[in-house]
Structure 1
Amino acid sequence: MRRSILAGAGAVLLLLLTACATGGPMTDPTTPSSSRPPFATTTPGPIGPSGTPAAVSPAQWDAIVADLAERGVAGEPVLVSAESVTWPNGALGCPKPGMSYTQAVVDGMRVLVEVDGVSYDYRFGRGDAPVLCEA
């Protein structure tokens, strides 16, 4: 009688261990356990205008013109919009995969210019060095 009790207890223990190891009878290992979408670490593309109108300084404009020239863009840039923006981090709203950025708010500016029908989205942090946001 003692052997049958031990055998029964062993069978129950084996069933419990098997159920724990596979996640139990109610879970399917092929489906995620959460209904949330996967965590995204980057913005899917350039963000839209959301700041207040601002004036582009001569130093900022000269830096944009110089950057366009370095990229081989010929033609006269036309200012489309300029706005003051508080960026959530050093990526200035346009992170690049694999890069690390300062995790502090950055007061800056977003400047949209157009050359021969092509738009260019420039971002500024605290200085006058532009960052072209390429989607």
Structure 2
Amino acid sequence: MKKIMFGLVLIAVLAAACGGPALQPTPLPTQPPPTSTSPAPTETHIPVDLPPAQLAAINALAEAFGIRVDEIKVVSVEAVQWPDSCLGISYPNARCAQAITPGFRIILEANGEQYEYHTNESGSAVASAAATLTWHREGGFAGFCDDLVVVVSGQAQAGSCAPSTAYPLGTLTDDELTQFKQWAKSFGSVVIEMRDPAVADAMTIVLTFSGNGSGQPTEADQQAMLNWAQSVYDRLKP
């Protein structure tokens, strides 16, 4: 669900009305100006009294999705003892120190959507728990070495690992994104491995998925996820 600080200041402009000259030569008693009832301007900066970990999560979300910080609210904060330095979020090839790390699970909301972030106690480490899919294919007669990374925002990065080449960043179609979000709600951490018999040109495919649910995919679901990933890769490959 993969960051920068934003400072936003709102300047309120008030206009004062001026009365015209009197039409009669006789002076009239001066009336006191009406009391202004204009509402106070809406605050567009992060409240300064928020703890550092919550501020860090808000800034990370604002940067990742281009959301104004004043449109983000904190839904819940839970103190957690994370099992490693990666704050309980594992990614392929990530190096995580296996040490208990005190921190927080922070749920944020913006534009009707909720986002989960993990932090350490000080907020110096922040990680998005957004659903992520990785797909790796290697071997076969054609000598494949292909990679795909997809995040719940709809961004998808395809590439080759022989040699290491990243193709232009792409986006999921509406149907692809709908399917991805359905899996994210249903499944938790998923690893799918498919290997050909041990021959010289054996094909290996590994798919990892980190969702927000708690279930595991059936065999049919696993095959659907593999087919989906290869279809997205084939569409994004130049």
SS in 1 for 2:71: coil
Query: Larger Rg: 1 or 2?
Result: 1
Q: Displaced runs of 4+ in structure 1, greater than 3 A?
A: none
After superposition, where does 1:1-135 map in structure 2 within 5 Å? 57-71=50-64, 72-74=66-68, 76-129=71-124, 130-135=126-131
SS in 2 for 1:80: strand
Paired with 2:75 and 2:96, the residues of 1 have a C-alpha distance of 28
Greater relative contact order: 1 or 2 (C-alpha under 8 angstroms, separation 6 or more)?
Answer: 1
> Under a length normalisation based on structure 2, what TM-score does the superposition of the two structures give?
0.31
SS in 2 for 1:82: strand
What percentage of aligned pairs have identical amino acids? 31
Gaps of 5+ in 1: 1-55
Closer, same or farther: CA 122–116 of 1 in aligned 2, 3 Å: same
Paired with 2:121 and 2:75, the residues of 1 have a C-alpha distance of 21
- State the Cα deviation string for residues 83-114 of structure 1 (Å, max 9, x = none): 11111111212111110101111111110011
> Under a length normalisation based on structure 1, what TM-score does the superposition of the two structures give?
0.52
Residue identity opposite 2:91 in structure 1 = K
Paired with 1:95 and 1:105, the residues of 2 have a C-alpha distance of 15
Paired with 1:92 and 1:113, the residues of 2 have a C-alpha distance of 17
Q: CA deviation at 1:119?
A: 1.3
Residue identity opposite 1:73 in structure 2 = I
Q: CA RMSD in A?
A: 2.0
Between structures 1 and 2, the one with greater strand share:
2
Gaps of 5+ in 2: 1-48, 132-238
Residue identity opposite 1:104 in structure 2 = A
